[in-house]
Amino acid sequence: MNYKTQMEAARKGIVTKELSRVAKDEGFTEQELLALVASGRIVIPANIRHKSLHPYGIGEGLRTKVNVNLGISGDCADYHAEMEKVRLAEKFGAESIMDLSNYGKTREFRKKLIEISLAMIGTVPIYDAIGYLEKDLKEITAQDFLRVIRSHAEEGVDFMTIHAGINRRVMEIFLRERRQMNIVSRGGSLIFAWMKMTGNENPFYEYYDELLDILREHDVTVSLGDALRPGSIADSTDASQIAELTEIGNLTERAWKQDVQVLVEGPGHMAMDEIAANMKIEKRICHGAPFYVLGPLVTDIAPGYDHITSAIGGAIAAANGADFLCYVTPAEHLRLPDLSDVKEGIIASKIAAHAADIAKGVKNARMADFQISEARRKLEWEDIFKLSLDGEKAKEYYESIPPEDRHSCSMCGKMCAVRTMNRILDGLDTKLR
C-alpha cells in the first residue's frame, strides 16, 4: 500500500475500497469522489485497524450523517447498557458512534466497540486521559496527552476530537470578552484549566505537527473541536467563538499538508436567525472542510425536550451546509441518556438530516418520501410500516385503536380522504355508513 491516508490516496488518484463503497452508496462516480476527498471537502474516516467498518463519507453533496454519543461515566458504569445503545444506534441508521467514556474499563469497552461496530468510531482522548494515566490533570504532560492519542489510534478509532484551537491568543480574547456560560465543552474546559494551572500553551496546539504524525500513521481523521462553542444563545457568534474558528481554519490547512483528513466541529446553542450565516462562515474560514455540529439548540428553555430544539437547529444547519449532526437526547443537560432517550435523539436527528438532504438536493433524497407516499395513497399499511423511519412505533400507534375498516385509520374512519378519493376515482360510490 503506497499511501497512508484516504486523502493521500485520493491525491495520487488511487481508488481505495472505502472510497469505492462510498461512491456506490452515495450515487457518485469514483472520479467525482476522488477530487472531493483530495481537496478535503469530503472525508472518509477509516482507521486501518477498524476491520468491521462500513465506510461512510461526510461532506459536500453527500447525505447528512448522524453521530450518537455514549460511554461509561463515574455515575453510570453499566457496560451492558452502553452496548445496548450501540445496537440501537445501528438499528436506526446512525453512521457514527462517539465513545465518550471517562471512567472504569474504558479501553476494554472501546476495543469491543471497534471490534463489533459497523459505524465510524470517534473519541475525545482528553476525556480518557485522567483515568488512563492515573494522574491529576495538572500533573499530565504534553507527551502524556500524545501517548493517549497514540493508544486510541492504535486501537482503531476512526476520528478524534482534538481541542487544538483554544491557544493563548484565543484564551486572551475569551478572558477579555467574557460570556454568560463561559466554556461548556467538557474537553475545552479541561484544556483551559490545564493551561491556567500549568501556565503552558495548549499541548495540542504546541505539538500539533507531532499529533498529526500519529493520526497520519493510522489514518485517523482529526475532528477539530470547538472548545468555545456557545452554551447559550446569548453567547453565540461572539468574539471567542469566531477567534477559535479562525485558528481552526489554519489548523485545517496544516493537517491537509500532512494528508490528514479534517472535520470541523461547531455550535452549540444558537438562535435560528444566526445559523445559516454560521455555516457559511465556517465553510469560508475552514476552506470547505466538512462541518460537524452539535444541534444547534435554538432555545435554552426546554430541558427534557432538547432533542426537539436540536433537531430544529440541525435541519437549518444541514440545509445551509453542515454535513454531520451530533444527536442530542431529551436527557441533554440533565443526566446520562437511557435507551429511550437514545432512540428519541437518533430519530429526531435522522429526521433533521433527511429533511435537510431534501432541501439541498442530495441525490435520491426524495426517493424514500415518494415510496412511502405511494404506499399511503394505496393504504398499504404494512408497506407504510416497512418504509417508516420507525416502523415499529408507526404500527403500534395504528393498531392501538384499530379501525373498523382496514382501508382507513381510527382518525377519520370511512371519512378518510384517501379512501374517498380512491373509491371515487375507481368509479365506486363512497359509503360513509
Exposure b/e, 14-39, CB count within 10 A at least 16 = b: eebebbebbbeebebeeeebbebbbb
- Tell me the binding residues: 69, 98, 127, 163, 185-187, 226-229, 265, 269, 292, 333, 409, 412, 416
The grid coordinates listed for 192 are 483551559
- Is the pTM higher than 0.85? yes
Domains of the chain, start order: 6-359 (3.20.20.540), 367-425 (no CATH)
> How is residue 300 written as a grid cell?
435554552
User: Binding site membership for Zn(2+): which residues?
Assistant: 269, 333
pLDDT score recorded for residue 7: 98
| Whole-number Å distance between alpha carbons of 47 and 220 | 5
- CA atoms of 128 and 249, how far apart (whole Å): 26
Residues of each annotated binding site for [4Fe-4S] cluster: 409, 412, 416
Which residues contribute to the annotated binding site for substrate? 69, 98, 127, 163, 185-187, 226-229, 265, 292
pLDDT at 404: 80
Residue 121 dihedral angles phi and psi, to the nearest 5°: -115, 125
* DSSP per-residue letters across 228-260: T--SSGGGTT-HHHHHHHHHHHHHHHHHHHTT-
pLDDT, position 190 = 96
The Cα angle at residue 112 between residues 108 and 116, in degrees rounded to 5:
175
Going by C-beta distance under 8 Å and a sequence separation of 6 or more, which residues neighbour residue 406?
Answer: 379, 381
Kindly state the helix (H) or strand (E) to which residue 42 belongs, with its residue range.
strand 42-43
Give the per-residue pLDDT at 105: 74
Burial group, residue 370, by CB count within 10 angstroms (0-12, 13-18, 19+): exposed
Q: Which segments in the chain show pLDDT lower than 70? A: 1, 74-77, 104, 433
pLDDT at residue 334, as a whole number:
93
* Predicted pLDDT of residue 88: 95
